[in-house]
């Protein structure tokens, strides 16, 4: 979380998206993806995840909550790949990001609290980085979702070979046209501006439960039927020519490490509202001081 604070406080940017904090509500309870998305990654040392990381991150959450800071963020922990936590911070523009950074620099209490929190959090981390991504509406499919009730992100990273952007665009057109016939299919595409190699895209699929992963297998069959044999052959050729690297991972939302907007908490308080510590039982003795 220190690098999030660094981004927000205007320090050097160190380096996976969808609707976040400051976006306006869209009809039907959905929220449109933010135009600008900062994704901070914290890689954890072995054995330093779980409750230990939640505890250090809670200091950041409390610091922002005490000041009622208007910029919110949320966290997601990796279920696959390297042990890491992603923090998603939204902005409508670079100008808005700059204004937020300058405002935080002038808030001495918040800056001091973030610095203190970073000391404890840093002991758990092996590496951090961050990237800045912009929303590509044309390549997305039904991007606005009821994000407050989502629980998982499936994030696929695609690195396109230099000079092959046209083939990538052709890939997206083919895939989007086929999945457009499947009502439940949806995703948001973000293109990297800073912090990634070459031409990099993130395809982010939000899910309410893991059951949607099972359902996606059936959607894959429907996709292949919609594409047809010739379409699948053309898609394979384009992918072979344009895509240099791809990787897909699954992430689970972490309310304990998030600073969500009030609208999210109101929409699903059982999930997003901070949990109070359970009171000690009457017959329990306090722990001895060390």
3-state SS track over 198-222: CEEEEEEEEECCCHHHHHHHHHHHH
- Per-residue model confidence as pLDDT tens digits over 118-173: 999 999 999 999 999 999 999 999 999 999 999 999 999 999 999 999 999 999 99
Name the residue with tokens 């039907």.
Answer: 28
Angle, CA 146 vertex, CA 34 and CA 221 arms, to 5°: 100
Average pLDDT over every residue of 93-102: 93
Domains in the chain, CATH or no CATH each: 2-272 (3.30.70.100)
- Report which secondary-structure segment, H or E, holds 149: none
Give the list of residues 6+ apart from residue 122 with CB closer than 8 angstroms, or none.
2
* Residues 244/199, Cβ–Cβ less than 8 Å: no
Give the list of residues 6+ apart from residue 224 with CB closer than 8 angstroms, or none.
232
- What is the maximal distance between C-alpha atoms in the chain? 72
Distance of CA 217 to CAs 179, 188, 214, Å? 13, 19, 6
- Per-residue model confidence as pLDDT tens digits over 168-181: 999 999 999 999 99
Straight-line distance from the first to the last Cα atom of the chain, in angstroms, rounded to the nearest whole number: 29
Is pLDDT above 50 for 67?
A: yes
- Per-residue model confidence as pLDDT tens digits over 205-255: 999 999 999 999 889 999 999 999 999 999 999 999 999 999 999 999 999
* More confident: 15 or 205: 205
pLDDT band at 276; cut points 50, 70, 90: low
């Amino acid at each position: 979380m220190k690098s999030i604070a660094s981004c927000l406080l205007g320090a050097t940017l160190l380096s996976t998206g969808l609707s976040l904090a400051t976006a306006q509500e869209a009809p039907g309870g959905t929220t449109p993806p933010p135009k600008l998305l900062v994704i901070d990654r914290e890689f954890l040392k072995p054995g330093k995840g779980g409750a230990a990381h939640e505890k250090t991150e809670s200091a950041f959450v409390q610091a922002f909550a005490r000041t009622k800071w208007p910029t919110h963020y949320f966290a997601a922990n990796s279920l696959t790949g390297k042990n890491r936590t992603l923090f998603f911070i939204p902005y409508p523009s670079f100008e808005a990001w700059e204004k937020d950074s300058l405002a935080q620099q002038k808030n001495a209490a918040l800056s001091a609290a973030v610095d203190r929190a970073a000391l404890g959090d840093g002991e758990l981390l092996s590496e951090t980085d961050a990237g800045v991504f912009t929303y590509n509406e044309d390549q997305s499919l039904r991007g606005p979702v009821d994000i407050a009730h989502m629980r998982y992100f499936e994030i696929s990273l695609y690195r396109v070979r230099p000079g092959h952007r046209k083939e990538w665009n052709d890939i997206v057109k083919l895939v989007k046209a086929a999945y457009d016939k499947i009502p439940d299919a949806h995703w948001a595409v973000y293109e990297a501006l800073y912090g990634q190699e070459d031409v990099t895209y993130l395809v982010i699929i939000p899910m309410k439960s893991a059951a949607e992963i099972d359902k996606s297998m059936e959607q894959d069959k429907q996709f292949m039927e919609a594409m047809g044999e010739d379409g699948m052959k053309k898609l394979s050729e384009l992918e072979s020519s344009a895509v240099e690297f791809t990787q897909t991972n699954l992430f689970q939302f972490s309310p304990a490490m998030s600073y969500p907007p009030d609208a999210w908490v109101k929409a699903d308080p059982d999930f997003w509202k901070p949990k109070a510590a359970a009171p000690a039982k009457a017959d329990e003795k306090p722990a001895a001081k060390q």
